Amino acid sequence: MQSGRLEDAARLWSQVLAAAPEHPQALFHLGQHKLMQKDQAAALDLLERAAKADPAAPAIPLNVAFVYRASGNTAAEIAALDRALAIDPYFFPALLAKGTALNRAGRRKLAAQVYKAALTIAPPDDQLVPEMRKQLELARKNVAEDAEQLDRHLEARIEGFRSQQTVSGVRRAEMCKDVILGRRKVYVQQPSMLHFPELPAIQFYDREMFDWLLALEACTDAIRAEFLNAYGKDNGAFVPYVDHPEGAPLNQWQELNRSSRWSVLFLWKDGQRMDEACARCPVTAAAVEAAPQAHIPNFAPTANFSVLAPRTRIPPHTGSTNVRLIVHLPLIVPDGCTYRVGNETRVWEEGKAWVFDDTIEHEAWNGSDEPRVILMFDIWNPLLSPAERQVISALLNGLQSYYGADAPVQFGG
């Protein structure tokens, strides 16, 4: 707004104030006008009167803070910003301004904490005025520098304990530190169908819990050969893994629904052994049967060869239940293939299996020009007792018998 228009607006607000001496908007706008004119005493008087007239408006104490900032009174500026945040703790301009004031006062650690809160609710940069964008960039820089300093401080505290921990213990400690530093998001179980209470949300399980993995991995070459034979002779037996019916909400599966870009050959499906496929792949079938498969009539186990086409991404999603875990045995892994479960991203290595909880958000990428192939199957969550497994089977089949064929219960992946 040009200078002349500002003066016109000030005259109009002055007329309003003459008619209504405690009109909050008139006091507020005239206070802003006086601040622009660098008449800090008059601005402060008008804005404090506005705050009394409208104590629920956080923008008024925010502007009081601007007056104190202009006069160099940082302590009073922070106090005024605290008044604004007492009215609305999520008032972004006040959070950002408080972080800036604390940073200016040399209180960088507290500034970083306030800046973090501001960054979590910050609108996109292109929606901010240049001055606020500049403050936001300062906020990001301050938070990053504080994280580096805190990292060094925490590292010095825990370094001596590494020799006392297992490899997995060191990894979990590092992940815990990364969560503190804001480098990792915490993910929880989000089963789409059945949640069994009090099972921990473990992204990738420790190998030591599954002594049969070594025997499975020892069969990698034979299993790969069986896959190549099956795929070469009849790749038509491989079907799309994502196969939603017409009219079903597809959401993130729009691109992969009924697509051969992610195809599988089932060895077991929803508890049924696919005898023909198993007969063609006897080593694979025996290796899977040697694992603690999740036997739930009509629902599990499921096992398949999973083929992900070149330049294909499986979008973030979660599985149906935490009563089972998923095993991957990588068979053919070109460069550029990665897998994320929760806040941990790994690269498949041919012949090296892993076990994970698929109710935690996960996704996959094949960034190469060749197919990626794994053997994938489910096992019981090892933290379930035999009695609990029986209850789970009874519950799932109870659901199925209740709804019947008209509304079949979908287990799936």
More confidently predicted of 31 and 114: 114
Average pLDDT over residues 52-80: 96
- pLDDT over 70 at 4, yes or no: no
What confidence score (pLDDT) does residue 166 get? 85
Confidence of residue 99 (pLDDT cuts 50, 70, 90): very high
- pLDDT over 80 at 73, yes or no: yes
% of residues, the chain, pLDDT over 70? 97
Helix (H) and strand (E) counts in the chain: 14, 11
Report pLDDT digits (tens) over 256-286.
Answer: 999 999 999 999 999 999 999 999 999 999 9
Positive/negative CA dihedral, 225, 231, 237, 241: positive
Contacts of 162 (CB under 8 A, 6+ apart): 170, 173
3-state SS class at 325: strand
What confidence score (pLDDT) does residue 217 get? 99
Which regions of 117-218 does DSSP assign to beta strands (E)? none
- pLDDT over 80 at 235, yes or no: no
Confidence of residue 12 (pLDDT cuts 50, 70, 90): confident
Report pLDDT digits (tens) over 165-220.
Answer: 888 888 888 999 999 998 899 999 999 999 999 999 999 999 999 999 999 999 99
Tokens (6 digits) for 2? 């040009």
Angle of CA points 26, 29, 31, to nearest 5°: 100
% of residues, the chain, pLDDT over 90? 76
Report pLDDT digits (tens) over 317-337.
Answer: 999 999 999 999 999 999 999
CB 83 within 8 A of CB 64: yes
Average pLDDT over residues 302-316: 98
Highest mean predicted confidence (pLDDT) among 12-16, 31-35, 164-168, 356-360: 356-360
- pLDDT over 80 at 234, yes or no: no
Confidence of residue 34 (pLDDT cuts 50, 70, 90): confident
What confidence score (pLDDT) does residue 412 get? 66
- pLDDT over 60 at 33, yes or no: yes
Report pLDDT digits (tens) over 114-172.
Answer: 999 999 999 999 999 998 999 999 999 999 999 999 999 999 988 888 888 888 888 88
Average pLDDT over residues 288-306: 96
What confidence score (pLDDT) does residue 1 get? 44
- pLDDT over 80 at 252, yes or no: yes
**pTM higher than 0.85:** no
3-state SS class at 379: strand
CB 357 within 8 A of CB 301: no
Contacts of 308 (CB under 8 A, 6+ apart): 261, 262, 314, 337, 364, 366, 371, 372, 373
- pLDDT over 90 at 400, yes or no: no
Other C-beta atoms within 10 Å of 309: how many?
Answer: 15
* Domains along the chain with CATH numbers: 3-150 (1.25.40.10), 207-403 (2.60.120.330)
Confidence of residue 49 (pLDDT cuts 50, 70, 90): very high
- pLDDT over 60 at 2, yes or no: no
What confidence score (pLDDT) does residue 413 get? 62
CB 61 within 8 A of CB 87: yes
More confidently predicted of 29 and 81: 81
